[in-house]
């Protein structure tokens, strides 16, 4: 009986090892099967010209009130409130345009249908956790858009790019309403994460660079999407942030704990073409450190003013000071030391992509305040 049991354990071990080897060899193929739509791409009909005049097409915008997820202010882990609620103070005179990351993972369509309940539920959580560091702004605008499904990023099929183009068309239309709705002298902060950052960079390149609103940019926070220093940054019309009080600059980072394996991200990055039309292969990835507010360098965990550590379903959380250090390595990856306990959504390779912004919540709140103050001083 004992011998049969040992045989059974040995067989299970062999099957597990074989499964891990297969997953390692065919992980991309299996991921594509799981997430890339098998359905034909359906062209998205343009939204009505006045569609984004409807508050229902925004997660956040002036007038939403207490239900606005971007206006959330979490408490410290010990229950205290280090920073006042936005309602307790005169708001800062600047406007934020926030583009949320991918929340649609369904493979039944290439773009999220308008009103998809699950995609909107997740997107609202993302706005609550990622736009809220900028809640000192006088205005925060975060549009709903027919985002590309996650599988669009995992395939070379032309349908993937078509889905991204369709999503961008909505973002562009929403941005035009944002521009028309704020006063001509209001300073602007642009924020995106992942797919949101991809669309944000395209906005900078195609719609903002060289226009009057470019002169009113306090800062751009494009987290979770790699930017080539050589082939993207010069085309965006803004420099990387070199100091904590610089204005009109870009911050960007992709977060990994150690030991880090960013090989999949780097391989995908190097296989694409930069905004200048040249291959990104061999170029440097921009890494700005959110603990210091400047390109490169490192900072100890005691510089982390408060990471937003979420609860199990990401719907709530507490600010924990000193949760993680941060340093930019020579690959352009932001490393945060040993894996901090942030929840169940860490990706393979110790990729903390979902937590790019929450890990540095309080520092980003302080960062945008410092840049806004520097903007005032320069006026």
Confidence band, pLDDT 50/70/90 cuts, at residue 34: low
Cβ(193)–Cβ(223) below 8 Å: yes
Alpha carbons within 13 A on the beta-carbon side of 33:
6
Nearest to 232 by CA among 191, 273, 282, 265: 273
CA distance 361 to 378: 26
Strands (E), the chain: 58-60, 92-99, 137-143, 188-193, 217-223, 249-251, 255-256, 288-289, 294-295, 298-299, 307-310, 317-320, 326-328, 334-335
Confidence band, pLDDT 50/70/90 cuts, at residue 32: low
81, pLDDT greater than 80: no
96, pLDDT greater than 70: yes
What is the four-CA torsion angle of 366, 138, 215, 235, rounded to 10 degrees?
60
Lowest mean pLDDT among 82-86, 171-175, 224-228, 372-376: 82-86
- Residue-wise pLDDT for 114-170, tens only, equals 999 999 999 999 999 999 999 999 999 999 999 999 999 988 899 999 999 999 999
Taking all residues of the chain, what is their mean pLDDT, rounded to a whole number?
89
- Residue-wise pLDDT for 46-73, tens only, equals 999 999 999 999 999 999 988 899 999 9
> End-to-end distance of the chain based on CA atoms, in angstroms?
83
In 107-255, where does DSSP find H-type helix?
117-130, 158-181, 195-203
Residue 144 φ/ψ, nearest 5 degrees: -80, 145
Residue 300 is classified by DSSP as: -
Residue 301 is classified by DSSP as: G
Query: Can the peptide bond before residue 190 be classed as cis, meaning omega within 30 degrees of 0?
Result: no
pLDDT for the residue numbered 33: 52
Nearest to 241 by CA among 249, 229, 231, 233: 249
Q: How far is CA 207 from CA 26, 169, 177, 346, in A?
A: 40, 12, 13, 34
17, pLDDT greater than 50: no
Cβ(335)–Cβ(260) below 8 Å: yes
pLDDT for the residue numbered 15: 37
DSSP string, 77-106: TTS--SS--GGGSPPEEEEEEEE-------
300, pLDDT greater than 80: yes
Cβ(323)–Cβ(340) below 8 Å: yes
**Mean pLDDT across 283-292:** 98
CA distance 192 to 185: 22
Nearest to 254 by CA among 171, 360, 100, 143: 360
Number of residues in the chain: 379
Nearest to 251 by CA among 233, 263, 264: 233
Confidence band, pLDDT 50/70/90 cuts, at residue 86: very low
């Amino acid at each position: 009986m004992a011998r049969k049991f040992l045989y059974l354990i040995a067989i299970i071990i062999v099957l597990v090892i074989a499964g891990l080897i297969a997953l390692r060899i065919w992980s991309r193929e299996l991921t594509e099967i799981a997430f890339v739509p098998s359905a034909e791409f359906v062209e998205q009909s343009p939204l009505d010209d006045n569609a984004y005049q409807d508050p229902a097409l925004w997660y956040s915008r002036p007038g939403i009130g207490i239900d606005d997820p971007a206006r959330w202010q979490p408490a410290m882990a010990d229950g205290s409130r280090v920073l006042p609620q936005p309602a307790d103070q005169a708001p800062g005179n600047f406007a934020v345009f926030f583009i949320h990351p991918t929340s649609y993972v369904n493979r039944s369509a290439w773009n999220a249908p308008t009103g998809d309940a699950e995609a909107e539920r997740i997107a609202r959580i993302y706005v609550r956790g990622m736009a809220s560091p900028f809640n000192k702004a006088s205005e925060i605008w975060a549009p709903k858009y027919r985002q590309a499904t996650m599988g669009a990023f995992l395939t070379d099929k032309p349908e993937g790019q078509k889905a991204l183009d369709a999503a961008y068309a909505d973002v562009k239309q929403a941005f035009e309403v944002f521009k028309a709705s704020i006063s001509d002298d209001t300073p602007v902060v642009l924020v995106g994460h992942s797919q949101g950052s991809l669309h944000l960079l395209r906005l900078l390149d195609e719609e903002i660079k060289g226009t009057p609103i470019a002169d009113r940019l306090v800062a751009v926070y494009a987290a979770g999407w790699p930017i080539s220093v050589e082939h993207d940054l010069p085309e965006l019309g803004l420099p990387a942030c070199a100091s904590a009080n610089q204005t009109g600059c870009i911050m960007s980072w992709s977060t990994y704990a150690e030991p880090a394996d960013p090989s999949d991200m780097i391989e995908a990055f190097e296989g694409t073409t930069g905004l200048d039309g040249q291959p990104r292969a061999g170029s440097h990835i921009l890494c700005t450190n959110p603990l210091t507010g400047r390109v490169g360098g490192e900072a100890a965990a005691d510089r982390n003013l408060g990471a937003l550590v979420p609860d199990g379903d990401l719907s709530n959380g507490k600010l924990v000071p000193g949760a993680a250090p941060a340093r930019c390595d020579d690959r352009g990856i932001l490393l945060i030391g040993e894996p901090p306990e942030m929840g169940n959504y860490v990706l393979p390779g110790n990729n903390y992509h979902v937590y790019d912004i929450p890990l540095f919540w309080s520092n980003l709140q302080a960062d945008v305040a410092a840049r806004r103050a520097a903007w005032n001083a320069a006026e």
